[in-house]
């Protein structure tokens, strides 16, 4: 299809498509004449990936470039590509205190992951994020043991197993599967986060006795 | 306590405390001499609130100022303060297409909230966020009906009811309850998000047959 048709099919304006082409986020079309290029299904899929990472994942362009490089690198397995996406969507881990409290929180995080039988890289920044949350809860006098956080782990793993991994189309081209995996991770993360805030609003309305509108 | 003791007790360096005082995030101490001020428990609690919003919630200072203004405004009920915190932690809602697909996604989001019996303000930006996620899933050919997303809603509401609302100390001073509510919302949101990414890594390692390290 022509760039105008690609624009119509994807809902992405032509100048934006040209920007993605210049930035190397979108591979060039097949040149059929000096001023004419043909685009295909893979371009349409790639545009959806970019828009999802940008609008739903709210990733900066630099992070999107890293994710796309991983998607395109056929020497990487699915697990490595997903890892790249996870590291791109994870917030930067701030510097933190290196004291006894921190070491205890970090040990608690590692212990919980071990107790759950989860396979997580020893250097994964998510371990630091979890430890930071545990430390904050502890400092606030809120339940912060692995046991207290276990229901969050169990809810998360159930959703991923039952509603996410199964939707990946593994029988098609590698790129389609990888893109579905990456976008699914980003969008479902957003779904869960927004559901939690919606639930909080609703429960708080009841709990604090706000009258029906 | 003196500012040096406040620093030691909170782990926040003195120059940072002075910065929060100048920015009005931390109320001034009680002046006991020309160059000497006394700080109390409420300052310690407030510092923990600021650090949690900053380090775990990753809110910008302007958003933290809004949350603290709501915490301090005694004319606001708990529900309104929580609402302010939610709007501060929510990502800015991007402009979106205003076409038939968008209206269908928005109707699906509203229908799910109604079916769940949730009490959510008709103008809440979270409704737009949910609609945006539904639209993206739909465009990617992934399950995007209210029914498909219901498990996310149910997991979220269970966690909030069973592990969050109950931990709010409602028998103490209003400010302590409000601060616990706000910080709990932010930190537990982070916990759930990081658990989901940890679960994804672990499940992906098994699913794609990465060998044990």
Is B164 part of the contact surface with chain A (CB cutoff 8 Å)?
yes
Among B56, B161, B197, beta carbon nearest to A133 = B56
Give the CA distances from residue B17 to residues A122, A136, B25, B46, in Å, rounded to whole numbers and listed in that order.
35, 18, 9, 11
More confident call, A80 vs B30? B30
Is B206 part of the contact surface with chain A (CB cutoff 8 Å)?
yes
Closest to B31 (Cα-Cα) out of B5, B2, B9: B2
Q: Do B201 and A124 touch (CB under 8 A)?
A: yes
Q: By three-state DSSP, how is residue A93 classified?
A: coil
The A residues from 71 to 130 touching B (CB cutoff 8 Å) are 77-79, 82-83, 86, 89-91, 94, 96-97, 113, 116, 118-122, 124, 126-127, 129-130
Q: Do B203 and A86 touch (CB under 8 A)?
A: no
Closest to A72 (Cα-Cα) out of A204, A182, A178: A178
CATH assignment of B3-76, given 1.10.460.10, 3.40.50.300, 1.10.760.10, 1.10.1660.10?
1.10.1660.10
The arithmetic mean of pLDDT across residues A89-97, rounded, is 66
Q: By three-state DSSP, how is residue A31 classified?
A: strand
Q: Where are the domains of chain B?
A: 3-76
| Radius of gyration of chain B, Cα coordinates, nearest whole angstrom | 21
Closest to A59 (Cα-Cα) out of A190, A208, A176, A201: A190
Q: β-strands B30-33, A36-38: how paired?
A: unpaired
Percent of chain B with pLDDT over 90: 32
**What's the longest Cα–Cα distance across chain B?**
68
- Mean pLDDT score of chain A: 86
Banded model confidence at residue A213, pLDDT cuts 50, 70, 90: very low
Closest to A200 (Cα-Cα) out of B165, B51, B89, B140: B165
Q: What would the DSSP string read from start to end of B175-208? A: HHHHHHHHHHHHHHHHHHHHHHHHHHHHHHHHHT
Give the CA distances from residue B91 to residues A210, B59, B67, B180, in Å, rounded to whole numbers and listed in that order.
25, 10, 15, 22
More confident call, B103 vs B213? B103
How far is the alpha carbon of B195 from chain A, nearest alpha carbon, in Å?
5
Q: Could you read off the pLDDT of B52-64 as tens digits, one per residue?
A: 888 777 788 888 8
More confident call, B91 vs B14? B14
- What is the reported pLDDT for A174? 78
Per-residue pLDDT at A170 exceeds 80:
no
Supply the ipTM of this predicted assembly.
0.83
- What is the reported pLDDT for A81? 83
d(CA B172, CA B86): 23
* CA terminus-to-terminus distance, chain B: 51
Q: Do A187 and B148 touch (CB under 8 A)?
A: no
Q: Please, are residues A88 and A67 in contact by the beta-carbon 8 Å criterion? A: yes
Per-residue pLDDT at B106 exceeds 90:
yes
For residue A13, how many C-alpha atoms fall within 13 Å in the half-sphere facing its CB? 5
> In a 10 Å sphere around its CB, with 0-12 CB exposed, 13-18 middle and 19+ buried, how is residue A36 labelled?
exposed
């Amino acid at each position: 299809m022509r760039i105008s048709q690609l624009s119509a099919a994807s809902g992405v304006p032509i100048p934006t498509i040209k920007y993605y082409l210049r930035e190397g986020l979108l591979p060039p079309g097949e040149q059929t004449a000096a001023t004419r290029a043909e685009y295909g299904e893979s371009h349409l899929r790639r545009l959806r990936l970019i828009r999802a990472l940008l609008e739903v994942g709210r990733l900066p362009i630099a992070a999107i470039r890293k994710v796309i490089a991983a998607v395109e690198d056929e020497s990487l397995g699915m697990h490595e590509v997903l890892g790249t996406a996870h590291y791109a969507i994870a917030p930067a881990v701030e510097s933190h205190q290196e004291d006894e409290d921190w070491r205890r929180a970090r040990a608690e995080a590692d212990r919980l992951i071990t107790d759950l039988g989860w396979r997580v890289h020893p250097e994964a920044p998510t371990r630091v994020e979890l430890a930071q949350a545990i430390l904050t809860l502890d400092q606030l006098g809120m339940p912060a043991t692995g046991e207290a956080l276990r229901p969050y782990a169990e809810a998360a793993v159930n959703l991923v197993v039952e509603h996410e991994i199964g939707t990946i189309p593994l029988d098609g081209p590698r790129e389609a599967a990888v893109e579905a995996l990456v976008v699914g991770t980003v969008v479902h993360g957003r779904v869960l986060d927004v559901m939690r805030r919606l639930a909080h609003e609703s429960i708080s309305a009841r709990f604090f006795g706000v009258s029906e509108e």
